[in-house]
Amino acid sequence: MDISLSSKGQKPELNVELHRGVAGSLGITVGQVAQALRPAFAGIDAGDWEDPSGEVRDVVVRLSPDARRRATDLRQLPLVVTGPSGEPTTVPLGQVATVEQSVGPAVINHLDRDLVVNVEANVSGRSTGEVINDITTRIATIQLPPGVRITQGGDAQQQAEVFGDIFFALGVALLLMYLILVMQFGSFLDPLAIMLSLPLSLIGVMLALAISGGTINIMSLIGVILLAGIVAKNAILLIDFAKWARERRGLPLREALIEAGAIRLRPILMTTFALIAGMIPVALGRGEGAQFRAPLGMAVIGGVITSTLLTLIAIPTFYEILDEWRQSLARVFGFTPKQMTAEMPVPEPAGD
């Protein structure tokens, strides 16, 4: 990658360092020196001049270009001071200050009223996040001078803001999903078993991105948000049928879960295969701009595969554990298991 600085190299400059002890004894302040230097470089308006053609021109008096570049000429610049008798007199600048030639930045930038130097680079062959992590690690080993701090901007800052917005949206989506499931199932514990399918999908997302060489970017995170609604339907099919078989048919919990897995396996696999088939063109990354969308397809495919396989094993087990917790809490607080859930009728499960 190519690296550039906003300072744009260096250019010659003249440094004027005031001898404060000498200047103080003569009654010369830094402001007076600055006022004397300004006309020499910026010029002073001397009035108007009408040329032979009758056109009026502004007259500005200042040092010649050569004199403005030579330190010896600048040392002879007169400063007006008050003498011992009270009369104004002049003192050369070189008597109260040191004038030296040096080099300085060609461009001086400010951000939030602070001096700033922008370091810019183009990323090639690696993601922005990986490069930023490496830079942050290297910078952490550098002892910065007092008053100097490093902040991120450009694509790095925008990426951090976008990631923050996406994670906030994902958190809101999970909260709303949980509240809806609480209302539908009439229980605060049953939706937890369904929500377990969401972290199970992240295993497939990471594996799919690692195999395909993709990265965690905006599109892959959007795929994770999509998975939050997609993979939960498998757990909903299992838990809904198990609750119906247990409450309407009187089956023990474990038998109800086994029967739910056997009966709901076909619709779960049908929806999974249909979703994977629909995401394959997106994951292959064909066409203009398809490589930008490919991580979304890979994230969805990987998350659906692992969540489908693990949901059939993990969700019934976790639901049975939650039921044991519910019964334990009921014995501790003196409630019956039915009193710990909302009194809502369990509807007939939908057909396959």
User: What number is the average pLDDT over the span 204-212?
Assistant: 86
* CA gap 219, 101 in Å, rounded: 54
Position 128, amino acid:
T
Q: Does domain 3-122 have CATH number 3.50.50.60?
A: no
pTM above 0.85, yes or no: no
pLDDT tens track for 318-340: 888 888 887 777 777 666 555 44
Q: Which residue has the tokens 């739910």?
A: 260
Q: Which of 12-26, 118-132, 142-156, 170-184 has the lowest mean pLDDT?
A: 118-132
pLDDT at residue 1, as a whole number: 59
More confident residue, 164 or 107: 164
pLDDT at residue 150, as a whole number: 80
Q: Which of 100-104, 143-147, 166-170, 290-294 has the lowest mean pLDDT?
A: 290-294
Beta strands (DSSP E) in the chain are 3-5, 10-18, 44-50, 56-61, 78-82, 88-92, 97-105, 109-111, 114-116, 119-121
Domain ranges, ordered by start, for the chain: 3-122, 155-340
pLDDT > 90 in the chain, percent? 0
Position 345 pLDDT exceeds 50: no
Position 228 pLDDT exceeds 70: yes
User: What number is the average pLDDT over the span 177-203?
Assistant: 83
pLDDT at residue 334, as a whole number: 64
Average confidence score pLDDT of the chain = 79
pLDDT tens track for 156-166: 777 778 888 88
pLDDT at residue 343, as a whole number: 42
Superfamily classification of domain 155-340: Multidrug efflux transporter AcrB transmembrane domain (1.20.1640.10)
DSSP H or E run through 256: helix 253-284
* CA gap 229, 174 in Å, rounded: 9
* CA gap 96, 22 in Å, rounded: 6
213-242 per-residue burial string, b: 16 or more CB within 10 A, e: under 16: ebebbebbbbbbbbbbebbbbbbbbbbbbb
Ranked by mean pLDDT, the top range of 36-45, 267-276, 340-349 is: 267-276
Residue 345 · residue 259 · CB < 8 Å = no
Q: At what angle do helices 253-284 and 290-333 cross, to 10 degrees?
A: 170
Helix (H, G, I), strand (E, B) or coil at 77: coil
pLDDT at residue 346, as a whole number: 46
Helix (H, G, I), strand (E, B) or coil at 3: strand
The pair of structure tokens assigned to 59 is: 């007259």
User: What number is the average pLDDT over the span 197-216?
Assistant: 83
* CA gap 235, 177 in Å, rounded: 13
Position 10 pLDDT exceeds 80: no
* CA gap 324, 330 in Å, rounded: 10
